[in-house]
Amino acid sequence: MGSRMMHYVLAQQLSTRFPELNRNRFILGGIAPDAHLQDKERAHYYRGSYTDNSRRIDYEVFWQETARFDFSFRCGYFVHLIADDIWLQGFYKTWLKHVIAKDASFGMRYHEDFRRFNTVLALDNEIDPIELALDVADLANEQEVAALEQLLHSLREDLSGSQEQTYDVILKHQLDGYMASALEQIGSMLTQKIEGHK
């Protein structure tokens, strides 16, 4: 779904709208689902199937099952799941899935465009590599901390590219449009969760 840098930037931008949340824990939650590469299905609360087009992310089940989580981390994780479902429903299922079915190379080219966009996002949003050193020690077990640290390392690598990038299969304005739409939709949904927590 969305790239790691897209999730990081979404969480970073949303953190400024919700100062009542712990910023570092919120951003960490915003990237945490992608740290679980070995069990992505469970970490992303996937439901349904691609074959009958019922595939979705059940972020409400996540919310119900995680009341014990640190609230800021939980909100960030919730944001990530919604962002991925927006991508899944509005981009992948309606267009990308069909194109990949016709041309298998399209999937690899699509991921390369994501890598290019990661660098542009980092530069456009003036992300400082030092800012990525988030406090993870008291949020997860040792295995999860190692996975999160590896993800943070990958984010730092995204900062090393150059901005002069061309895109192969996805247009930059499509990705920009997704980011703007996701911010608007997620902001509204997150407000409801925070209000309900008070």
User: How would you write the pLDDT of the chain (198 residues) with one tens digit per residue?
Assistant: 678 889 999 999 999 999 999 998 899 899 989 887 668 889 999 999 988 889 999 999 999 999 999 999 999 999 999 999 999 999 889 888 888 889 989 888 988 888 888 888 887 887 765 566 666 655 656 667 778 888 888 887 777 765 556 788 888 888 889 999 999 999 999 999 999 987
State the DSSP H helix or E strand holding residue 120, giving kind and residue range, or none if neither.
helix 105-124
Count of alpha carbons within 13 angstroms of residue 33, beta-carbon side: 31
The pLDDT assigned to 13 comes to 93
The pLDDT assigned to 157 comes to 78
The pLDDT assigned to 56 comes to 96
DSSP 56: E
pTM of the model: 0.89
- Phi then psi for residue 106, to 5 deg, are -65, -35
The pLDDT assigned to 192 comes to 96
Contacts of 142 (CB under 8 A, 6+ apart): none
The pLDDT assigned to 95 comes to 86
Residue 53 CA to residue 123 CA, distance in Å, equals: 36
b/e map 145-176, b = 16+ CB within 10 Å:
eebbeebbebbeebbeeeeeeebebbeeeebe
**133, two tokens:** 């050193």
Contacts of 11 (CB under 8 A, 6+ apart): 26, 27, 29, 30, 31, 76, 79, 80
